[in-house]
Structure 1
């Protein structure tokens, strides 16, 4: 990648620091990475109030957001410039960051003291500045939250602009003298989990100059897909999240903005202008930053379609990228693969922000957790050998049961929607017919079969009422030990001992509790899910009332994943109606008759599924061990 003169200077400073570190004399001219040679305890801690250029709270003045900064004191010397690691978040006062819910702290004069997470402790001694930004309307920032919209994104982008000399920053929340970022090279890397990583995606999608890389962790790529799914609704809306993050910012009147969040999104699952404003996938062509992405394949909060569609859009744009996929739910890699993650992050920032040629971009593109704490590297994601494979459900001797095959199918199968039942009800006892779902299986596999990528399903169904929901799942039937992603820690257990990652300073510790894998023994694993409203069969922008007795065809997505179905297991497709506790049910629950000849599932497979001859139904073994879905009440805050 290219660097301007300031970036070259930062690289020279970083390399010099590495060579002058203890043991550095005579070292190779291309060091592995920057070394902790700067004094963290004496670092400069300050707040700069950056003007966003927007008046989100309607008080007649443009809003300023607080950028809390920690940087080496050596940057006060003339000509010394360093890059920036930035985490823009709405959670610094309401909810906290990280596994231990750290919040920002300040001294009696309002000077920042405690910086959540380890980024400052680890990277500031290595010649970086760390900037933690309060998004508009949160913590000490002016304005109002708009849940992924223009104000949220602009409040973070403005800080990137300020670091590059294109926006104004001040010493005070109102008034105050102007402050230039004359210590910054302009090279910025944004990082963060959940909402924070989502904002990194959003800022990257603006194409802002100076943003060299982003590290989105369990991040949203389109807010429509957080609150809706192909016409189906998840039962909660953006205004609740806005009120949560604004709750500790006294004196702000955000009632007008909150009304927009209430009235903007359609009550149904239609996609419209409100969601388009918050769709970063549609703007991915603007991304110029490299991307280091991490997500849990069992994340039922920020569902996995988010990383899959974002990754595919970045690929079309030729963005340099790397991905980690864990078996966890909504968890930061610092809490399931700590040492390896910090090492990768260090090399990633050194390369993309300092310009060091350390080869990090030439390593494996993907790293996937196959079993708890057992990882496999891949040259590509989706896996290079994976290709879209069309499968069909073929009826067996029992109604609603049969084989999943690459061959043709015929006939129909029917089920009655039952909103009191959900995915684990449908998956249990796969050898027994059920009136609330259809189940088709490959039978026992002779060889491993890898599902890698984003699938889809096309269903042709005839409803008995004027509205209907559809759900579909891919299930791996067979015994396995997995991370307990539905447990309290979503796949991790937090201990009491601590490890330290960087330097300490009064009020700002680098030490965090050690975590271990929380595991569960199961008889089946749901590896991909999808939901839809059949009334959106023609378009996501406008639902249409269904005519009872008429057949409709709809294609909807299945969640992105990377999972190996082992030899001896079976891969099954389940089709149901309302997934109870996940999507909102229709006004009247229908019977749905599925045309099997016109219903297909497209699965990205590496390996050859059998042309099965037989029922294809896993043997009934009574109640099966499984992991319950995460309660919906836990899924309304990314």
Structure 2
């Protein structure tokens, strides 16, 4: 359990002993597979170390954090991304127990590779790395070192290529950034070289070579990308709110969320030099914002397509309200991992872009502890016998399930004029109105609004659970060669709904502290708002990209075609008596870049449907369309894509 304190508490102060490179001289030992026989495997320590409780099969905090070895090294690469004639070097900061170094016991590594250690900071409090007068790491952001180093782990913070103290220029999710992290894992496994700031060669003789990567947002994205290389030594990853394919982060089926995002982000986190400006200009030249197409540029940044290479286990967590890194990222990655039989576990909270350390702290720390003990220490605990999925079904109420999603099959829900759940005849028409806001679209759902078609169900006869990825199939005839199509699944009914988190003035501590590295962090309060509707899911598609993101096919004006709108993955229990609404519009200037074509489409009702992954219950159509007016009091706002991804 964590301990609670106020901000005024005085921290324990002591001086760290830096043993430095003298403790790092031999090649790392090979890492055997784990005792469970899984292909992700785990290293087995050479004899029972003193910090393991044999009764609970867990590591115990017996090592002195204040006297931990703190060292900073530079790992070599074969890249020259800034074209200066010198190979790039990757700055790596390490905190590890001094006691294991003295006894020669080899320990595993928990790694957070990030572009944010200098520019933006990590976590809810935007912590950055700090160094002593000799340039050696003092403060490592977040609680990982405070908690795990006393338990016999090394914490390694990697500045990816082109950021902070590493040299070179980053390529925003591309091969260079991924390779810069692979180079560090190779060094930890004796396959690469490194040196200190004065040029002294240094090896990682202190580690088993077993690495677990963890991180939120960009950091978790790097973990996904590195796992997709199949690099030896990476035993597990814990991606938090992470991207699985950068194409899907910047656009949805050819519909862009913003323009010139990749060069902007590269400039935000990377070195401000003419050489790196040129690299970022190249990103802008190759991102195909003009067409929205999936190209080789995006394939390089698509980790889902390489899921077959993943040999690490995966503990994935994501927020079901996350429209920064949207929920299609975890769902498509999860599905690809499942197809390749990757050992895995998933937590899904109601939250948006928030680390579970903030909203489920004690349970999260305990579960991480068991996960790393199993996959990195080889301890036979019960973490892989627990339910695979833990889902927050209402604020602070969690249910555990054997698997996710709950169903692999979507229930086809037919569309009729104004009705959801009845087979319709004829057509309805939508003419693009880019001035429509989401509030306009979901308010007064029974009214006829130009630019919107709403389909409403009868009150639900029983509680339903939507678990998986809904889609909307529309048979359309357009008067232009393409048009964006937007769909929203809305739940109507007065209730308290999750609306965000707010930082409190109370801290809890997860691990040990020193005067320069505090393990204590503010808690957050979960907020709810009384409202008469909630958005279950949203989705966008450029009609010409419906069949292929790589090879769009322009529509033939006046000819019928079928378009599928992918909504975002969801897991939500919707109570009996609520009404579901499906709102279809064309362009969306709030959630995507302005891309209206002024198109008009006809929708063939008999050839159109909502595909809803339901585990229980069903949808029926109302017998008549009674007025269903709602008062929108809390405007919905799309998160700014140009915010640092903390």
Shared fold, TM over 0.5:
yes
Kindly indicate whether residue 485 of structure 2 is the aligned counterpart of residue 462 of structure 1: no
Alpha-carbon distance change, 585 to 82 in structure 1, aligned in 2, over 3 angstroms:
same
Kindly indicate whether residue 43 of structure 2 is the aligned counterpart of residue 7 of structure 1: yes
1:349 equivalent in structure 2: 372
Post-superposition offset of 1:572: 1.9
How far apart in 2 are the matches of 1:304 and 1:120?
A: 29
Post-superposition offset of 1:87: 0.2
1:339 equivalent in structure 2: 362
- 2:159 equivalent among 89, 110, 134: 134
Deviates more, 1:469-478 or 1:251-260: 251-260
How far apart in 2 are the matches of 1:220 and 1:7?
A: 28
- 1:292 equivalent among 282, 301, 315: 315
Q: Is the 8 A contact 1:477 1:618 kept in 2?
A: no
1:264 equivalent in structure 2: 286
Kindly indicate whether residue 627 of structure 2 is the aligned counterpart of residue 596 of structure 1: no
2:202 equivalent in structure 1: 179
1:629 equivalent in structure 2: 637
Post-superposition offset of 1:576: 0.9
Unaligned runs of 5+ in 1: 20-28, 396-400, 485-490
Q: Is the 8 A contact 1:308 1:560 kept in 2?
A: yes
Q: Is the 8 A contact 1:93 1:103 kept in 2?
A: yes
Post-superposition offset of 1:626: 4.7
2:52 equivalent in structure 1: 18
Alpha-carbon distance change, 90 to 123 in structure 1, aligned in 2, over 3 angstroms:
same
1:73 equivalent in structure 2: 98
Q: Report the TM-score, using the length of structure 1 for normalisation.
A: 0.92
Q: Deviations along 1:162-214, whole A, 9 cap, x unmatched?
A: 11111111112xx7122110001111100000000000000000011111110
Q: Deviations along 1:207-262, whole A, 9 cap, x unmatched?
A: 1111111000000000000001111111232000000001xx46673122112211
Kindly indicate whether residue 279 of structure 2 is the aligned counterpart of residue 254 of structure 1: no
How far apart in 2 are the matches of 1:252 and 1:325?
A: 42
Question: What is the DSSP-based 3-state SS (H/G/I as helix, E as strand, rest coil) of the residue aligned with 2:448?
Answer: coil
How far apart in 1 are the matches of 2:71 and 2:484?
A: 52
Kindly indicate whether residue 187 of structure 2 is the aligned counterpart of residue 168 of structure 1: no
Deviates more, 1:578-587 or 1:593-602: 578-587
Alpha-carbon distance change, 394 to 295 in structure 1, aligned in 2, over 3 angstroms:
same
Alpha-carbon distance change, 442 to 620 in structure 1, aligned in 2, over 3 angstroms:
closer
Question: What is the DSSP-based 3-state SS (H/G/I as helix, E as strand, rest coil) of the residue aligned with 2:305?
Answer: helix
How far apart in 2 are the matches of 1:51 and 1:424?
A: 53
How far apart in 1 are the matches of 2:119 and 2:69?
A: 26
How far apart in 2 are the matches of 1:235 and 1:17?
A: 50
Q: Is the 8 A contact 1:420 1:580 kept in 2?
A: yes
Aligned length: 608
Unaligned runs of 5+ in 2: 1-31, 36-40
Deviates more, 1:302-311 or 1:449-458: 449-458
How far apart in 2 are the matches of 1:536 and 1:636?
A: 29
Post-superposition offset of 1:633: 5.3
Question: What is the DSSP-based 3-state SS (H/G/I as helix, E as strand, rest coil) of the residue aligned with 2:450?
Answer: coil
Alpha-carbon distance change, 6 to 521 in structure 1, aligned in 2, over 3 angstroms:
closer
1:574-613 equivalences under 5 Å are 574-586=583-595, 588-612=597-621
Q: Is the 8 A contact 2:428 2:603 kept in 1?
A: yes
Q: Deviations along 1:265-290, whole A, 9 cap, x unmatched?
A: 11221111000000000000111111
Q: Report the TM-score, using the length of structure 2 for normalisation.
A: 0.91
1:484-503 equivalences under 5 Å are 484=499, 491-503=500-512
How far apart in 2 are the matches of 1:499 and 1:542?
A: 52
Question: What is the DSSP-based 3-state SS (H/G/I as helix, E as strand, rest coil) of the residue aligned with 1:200?
Answer: helix
How far apart in 1 are the matches of 2:268 and 2:157?
A: 19
Q: Is the 8 A contact 2:443 2:629 kept in 1?
A: no
2:80 equivalent in structure 1: 55
Alpha-carbon distance change, 250 to 586 in structure 1, aligned in 2, over 3 angstroms:
closer
1:379-418 equivalences under 5 Å are 379-383=402-406, 385=407, 387-395=409-417, 401=418, 403-405=419-421, 408-418=423-433
How far apart in 2 are the matches of 1:637 and 1:516?
A: 21
Alpha-carbon distance change, 9 to 421 in structure 1, aligned in 2, over 3 angstroms:
same
RMSD over aligned Cα, in angstroms? 2.0
Post-superposition offset of 1:409: 2.6
How far apart in 2 are the matches of 1:337 and 1:11?
A: 35
Q: Is the 8 A contact 2:42 2:374 kept in 1?
A: no
1:174-573 equivalences under 5 Å are 176-236=199-259, 237-246=261-270, 249=271, 253-267=275-289, 268-383=291-406, 385=407, 387-395=409-417, 401=418, 403-405=419-421, 408-484=423-499, 491-573=500-582
Q: Is the 8 A contact 1:295 1:325 kept in 2?
A: yes
Question: What is the DSSP-based 3-state SS (H/G/I as helix, E as strand, rest coil) of the residue aligned with 1:284?
Answer: helix
How far apart in 2 are the matches of 1:202 and 1:324?
A: 20
How far apart in 1 are the matches of 2:584 and 2:272?
A: 48
Question: What is the DSSP-based 3-state SS (H/G/I as helix, E as strand, rest coil) of the residue aligned with 2:447?
Answer: coil
Q: Is the 8 A contact 2:120 2:644 kept in 1?
A: no
2:141 equivalent in structure 1: 116
Question: What is the DSSP-based 3-state SS (H/G/I as helix, E as strand, rest coil) of the residue aligned with 1:364?
Answer: coil
Q: Is the 8 A contact 2:108 2:207 kept in 1?
A: yes
How far apart in 2 are the matches of 1:42 and 1:636?
A: 34
Q: Deviations along 1:19-67, whole A, 9 cap, x unmatched?
A: 4xxxxxxxxx342421110010010111111113211111122211111
Post-superposition offset of 1:478: 1.2
